[in-house]
């Protein structure tokens, strides 16, 4: 486990766990924490033992309440703020499949960070919101884009224009999250999903992630052609050959990311 007190990091059984560890401040992110998240993302991308990444928050009250508002005046001017190392950008740079385990308040940049993950699992006590408008600004880490794609433009407008929160039940109904589980089952469920993904061929899993994200910005024919090209690349890997051989021999495949 990392000794960085406000971001905990651990890799075991091919699963990397990044935990925001500032529960007394609803895991609000400081500039130093953002830098550390960026560093751990680079570590995960380069580590063959990290096949899947789980992102969560410490404590029972919050996953993340976004940036620490009290620290925003530390930036000398808006341009420096604009070009700061951003934790949402960092999560989107992860090449590995990502699961967000949302254990409480998921607000502002915390919601953007969660939506930057591939899969979202929520505690029944979770709440989601884009409260920036209440303070005089809007989100800047992909809030509008991700909300519009996840829950539709009307529901996105309702959240963005009011700044009010929705509960876990509403988030599930709007498909903002994939599952809602009991608070004491949240991390176990995230690990269960991560363990399943970790058993899959690493190159194929990362390629599937790249393909899914590309599909957001492509027209249908280009997306199908791009998928076919990525399929061909995967088909040429040793893991694909192992998968075919294991199927013929009716045994469990041993995927090594090669």
- Smallest CA-to-CA distance from 238 within 255, 213, 215, 251 is with 255
Verify that 39 and 71 share a domain, yes or no: yes
> How far apart are the C-alpha atoms of 13 and 177, rounded to whole Å?
25
Answer whether residue 1 is part of any domain: no
> How far apart are the C-alpha atoms of 64 and 128, rounded to whole Å?
10
| CATH number of the domain enclosing 219 | 1.10.12
Verify that 146 and 240 share a domain, yes or no: no
List the structure tokens of 67. Answer: 């940036």
> How far apart are the C-alpha atoms of 190 and 139, rounded to whole Å?
27
Residue ranges of the chain with per-residue pLDDT less than 70: 1-4
What pLDDT, on the 0 to 100 scale, is given for residue 81?
79
Verify that 162 and 241 share a domain, yes or no: no
What pLDDT, on the 0 to 100 scale, is given for residue 148?
96
Question: What's the total number of domains in the chain?
Answer: 2
Verify that 191 and 209 share a domain, yes or no: no
Verify that 167 and 52 share a domain, yes or no: yes
What pLDDT, on the 0 to 100 scale, is given for residue 1?
44
Answer whether residue 258 is part of any domain: no
Domain limit, last residue, from 156, 175, 198: 198
Verify that 114 and 234 share a domain, yes or no: no
Verify that 111 and 211 share a domain, yes or no: no
Domain span at residue 213 reads 202-249
Tell me 256's DSSP state: -
What pLDDT, on the 0 to 100 scale, is given for residue 126?
98
What pLDDT, on the 0 to 100 scale, is given for residue 100?
98
What pLDDT, on the 0 to 100 scale, is given for residue 84?
79
| pTM over the 0.85 mark | yes
- Smallest CA-to-CA distance from 87 within 139, 156, 154, 13 is with 139
Verify that 143 and 123 share a domain, yes or no: yes
> How far apart are the C-alpha atoms of 185 and 103, rounded to whole Å?
10
Asked if residue 100 lies in contact with residue 120, where contact means CB atoms within 8 angstroms, the answer is: yes
What pLDDT, on the 0 to 100 scale, is given for residue 4?
62
Verify that 33 and 144 share a domain, yes or no: yes
């Amino acid at each position: 486990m990392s000794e960085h007190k406000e971001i905990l990091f651990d890799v075991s059984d091919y699963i990397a766990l990044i935990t925001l560890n500032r529960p007394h401040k609803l895991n609000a992110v400081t500039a130093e924490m953002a830098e550390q998240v960026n560093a751990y993302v680079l570590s995960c991308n380069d580590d063959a033992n990290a096949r899947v990444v789980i992102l969560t928050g410490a404590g029972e009250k919050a996953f993340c309440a976004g940036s620490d508002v009290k620290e925003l005046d530390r930036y000398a001017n808006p341009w420096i703020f604009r070009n700061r190392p951003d934790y949402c950008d960092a999560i989107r740079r992860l090449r590995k499949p990502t699961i967000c385990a949302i254990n409480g308040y998921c607000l502002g940049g915390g919601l953007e960070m969660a939506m930057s993950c591939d899969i979202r699992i929520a505690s029944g006590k979770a709440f989601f919101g884009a409260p920036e408008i209440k303070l005089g600004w809007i989100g800047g880490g992909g809030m509008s884009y991700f909300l519009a794609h996840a829950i539709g433009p009307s529901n996105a407008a309702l959240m963005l224009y009011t700044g009010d929160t929705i509960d876990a039940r509403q988030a599930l109904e709007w498909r903002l999250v994939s599952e809602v589980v009991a608070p004491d089952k949240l991390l176990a469920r995230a690990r269960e999903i991560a363990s399943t993904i970790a058993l899959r061929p690493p190159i194929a899993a990362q390629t599937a992630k790249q393909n899914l994200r590309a599909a957001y910005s492509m027209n249908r024919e280009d997306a199908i052609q791009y998928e076919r090209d990525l399929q061909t690349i995967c088909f040429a890997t040793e893991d694909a050959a192992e998968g075919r051989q294991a199927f013929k021999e009716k045994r469990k495949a041993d995927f090594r990311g090669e």
